[in-house]
Amino acid sequence: MKLTKILIVDDHDITLHGLSKYIEKIENTEIVGMVKSGEEALDLIQENKPDIVFTDVDMPVMDGVELLKLIRKDFVNIKVIACTMHIQLWVIQKLLHHGINGIISKQSLKIDIAKAVDRAITDHPFYSSDIYEAVIEIMKKPADYFSRFDELDLTKREKQVLQLISDELTSVEIAEKLFLSPNTIESHRKNLFLKFGVKNVAGLIKKAMERQLIE
């Protein structure tokens, strides 16, 4: 029987090895790569042509949504399954919009990963139970509900800085994490204030939570 080739993409070692441990127990599967970024994933996809890509959603530089869009553009037959800690309707809607084949919660990897692989192979979507509830909620929303989440036109870097601000990191700490200067982070912070129409971090967090950009 043909082995199902699987590529794992996650910027955290613990999740990478956790996923690989569970996948190794699934019959007729073969892990062809474990990488920490979307850029590395694209290189390996060209090289190894996996059947399924498991990808984290929240990754620096190229997140899971961007990786999904590029895979859909150039490798239409590859199944993509997203793994996430955050059940934000806006993010899930983006994944659905770009043709995700499954979404599993990182809290339920152990019980859901084999089901997700089996469903992907047979070309059926799979969602963890908590994700499924969110999908149903999305389907109940008006057609234009999610359009407001695109109005801000945040850059990838601004999204990263926004998330780290919400994690209560200072500009210096964010600069160290993203390998940028504190002045650059301050510039991003000011741009975020301007785009959200707020004057301070409290207002920024409130507006971002209203738009479900952060939890």
What is the DSSP code (8-state) at residue 147?
G
Q: Is 47 exposed, middle or buried (0-12, 13-18, 19+ CB in 10 A)?
A: exposed
Per-residue pLDDT of 102-136, as tens digits, reads 999 988 888 999 999 999 999 999 999 999 999 99
Q: Worst-scoring range by mean pLDDT, 23-32, 33-42, 65-74, 150-159?
A: 150-159
pLDDT of residue 215: 67
User: Which of 62-66, 103-107, 159-163, 201-205 is predicted least confidently?
Assistant: 62-66
Confidence bin at 99 (pLDDT 50/70/90): very high
Burial of 77 (0-12, 13-18, 19+ CB in 10 A): exposed
Q: What is the mean pLDDT of residues 51-63?
A: 88
Q: Is the pLDDT of residue 155 over 90?
A: no
Residue 197, Cβ density class (10 Å: 0-12 exposed, 13-18 middle, ≥19 buried): exposed
| Residues 6+ positions from 35 with CB-CB distance below 8 Å | 7, 8, 9, 41, 44
Q: What is the mean pLDDT of the chain?
A: 89
Give pLDDT, residue 147: 67
The 10s digit of each residue's pLDDT in 18-51 is 999 999 999 999 999 999 999 999 999 999 999 9
Other Cβ atoms closer than 10 A to 143: 6
- Which residues are CB-neighbours of 41 under 8 A, at least 6 positions away? 7, 9, 33, 35, 53, 55, 67
Secondary structure letter of residue 151 according to DSSP:
T
CA distances from 44 to 21, 64, 106, 135, 192 (A): 20, 16, 23, 30, 35
Q: Are 47 and 73 in contact (CB under 8 A)?
A: no
Closest CA to 31 of 93, 102, 117: 117
Within 8 A by CB and 6+ apart from 112, the residues are: 104, 105, 126, 128
Q: pTM higher than 0.75 for the full model? A: no
- Is the pLDDT reported for residue 90 higher than 80? no
Least-confidence region, from 25-29, 141-145, 179-183: 141-145
Q: 181: helix, coil or strand?
A: coil
Dig out the tokens for 195 from the structure: 């785009």
pLDDT at 148 over 70: no
Determine the topology of domain 4-140 in CATH.
Answer: Rossmann fold (3.40.50)
Is residue 44 a contact partner of residue 33, using CB atoms and an 8 Å limit? Answer: yes
**The residue type at 210:** E
Which residue ranges make up each domain of the chain?
4-140, 152-210
pLDDT reported for residue 149: 59
pLDDT of 79 > 80? The answer is yes
Domain 152-210 has CATH 1.10.10.10: yes
pLDDT exceeding 70 applies to what percent of the chain? Answer: 96
